[in-house]
Structure 1
């Protein structure tokens, strides 16, 4: 287990992280973050970790940048988990290109946020892939999402971060299932889909 006693673990991202944490499922949401918190706490109650969810539905990396000071820096994390990029890509395919984030902007913005945070807080990083729950790897959205996931993989190596290979986790389960088994829209997982993400996190944290 990578965490140490008394540490503060902050998660930030979009709707996949949010999952109702600001209303009906406060404070952790009812998605992967809640599952990770529950299983780590059950396995290591002696650590007395503090968990913080700062996911906001609909966010891109631009939105994270706008609230980063309040929702990350002021939280003084010992560990920061960042999972962002789905909306950055998806908006291109929703006929909302003005709200989508091109790959170069995504890369520059995310790298800058991570560098600033490590310098100012000294935290360690956990970086998780954006993904598409899709069996056809030639699907244009899958291909584009893979490019953004490659950025996350590169940043994880550059920052010495823990990398959570979420796309690979879904690709594995899709070898014997279909996308609708995990999500109605290839993006927002059902409980089993969130469990796929949580398992990928737990394997990375051990």
Structure 2
């Protein structure tokens, strides 16, 4: 995949994508991996500001929330590259609130969204897998639901030829060399270092490569 300076890159997902963006400001990118990607692309732009970057993450979203706003928050912006990161809240809400999100329905919903996007926009697709760095014994039990959900994400991404960012492998691998709290203190929401690692993985997946230094450990 080649990213050009005239591309429009749209990122959609939950709080990990949202990362504290100002929703009253359409240009706000938050302070997470989307911001880090945009910064790197600006640094590498040939002339001008580089690709347009749009953040449409909303904290707490599950796959069904994305579907309800997909037409306005994705299709309406006519992006040329769409990145989706979703799934952890479908697992989290099941465990803390008993709110069901059957994996088969989750998979079918994600499949519909990617198929619709590719058909209506001819957009290139990137999918970031959900991840978890358990910090409590209770969270260890989440994998019974999250692992098959991650497998579903991988199947849908493969079916639609999407580029993959394997956050489910990246973050646990990084946690082998440092305390998990340096990457995601609650097991879910990344620190600046965690966000930078995701950003670098996205850049590598689309063939850009990282240029900005990582935050100090």
TM-score normalised over the length of structure 1: 0.91
Q: Distance in 1 between the 2:5 and 2:182 partners? A: 38
Q: Distance in 2 between the 1:75 and 1:97 partners? A: 34
38-47 vs 85-94, which moves further: 38-47
Deviation at residue 152 of structure 1 after TM alignment: 1.6
Number of matched pairs: 203
Q: Work out whether 1:205 is the aligned partner of 2:206.
A: yes
Q: What do you get for the CA RMSD once the two structures are aligned?
A: 2.1
Q: Specify the alignment match of 1:108 in structure 2.
A: 108
Q: Work out whether 1:61 is the aligned partner of 2:66.
A: no
Deviation at residue 43 of structure 1 after TM alignment: 1.8
Q: Distance in 2 between the 1:46 and 1:17 partners? A: 27
Give the SS at the match of 2:110: helix
Whether the aligned pair in 1 keeps the contact of 2:129 and 2:166 (CA below 8 Å) is yes
Structure 1, unaligned runs of 5 or more: none
Give the SS at the match of 1:200: helix
Deviation at residue 44 of structure 1 after TM alignment: 2.8
Q: Work out whether 1:179 is the aligned partner of 2:180.
A: yes
Write out per-residue CA displacement over residues 146-180 of structure 1, whole angstroms, 9 at most, x where no aligned residue: 22222222122111111000111112111122222
Whether the aligned pair in 1 keeps the contact of 2:18 and 2:56 (CA below 8 Å) is yes
Structure 2, unaligned runs of 5 or more: 208-217
Whether the aligned pair in 1 keeps the contact of 2:131 and 2:168 (CA below 8 Å) is yes
Q: Distance in 2 between the 1:24 and 1:172 partners? A: 36
Deviation at residue 84 of structure 1 after TM alignment: 0.5
Whether the aligned pair in 1 keeps the contact of 2:19 and 2:31 (CA below 8 Å) is yes
Q: Specify the alignment match of 1:190 in structure 2.
A: 191
Deviation at residue 143 of structure 1 after TM alignment: 4.1
Q: Distance in 1 between the 2:46 and 2:168 partners? A: 30
Give the SS at the match of 1:46: coil
Give the SS at the match of 1:112: helix
Q: Distance in 2 between the 1:200 and 1:153 partners? A: 16
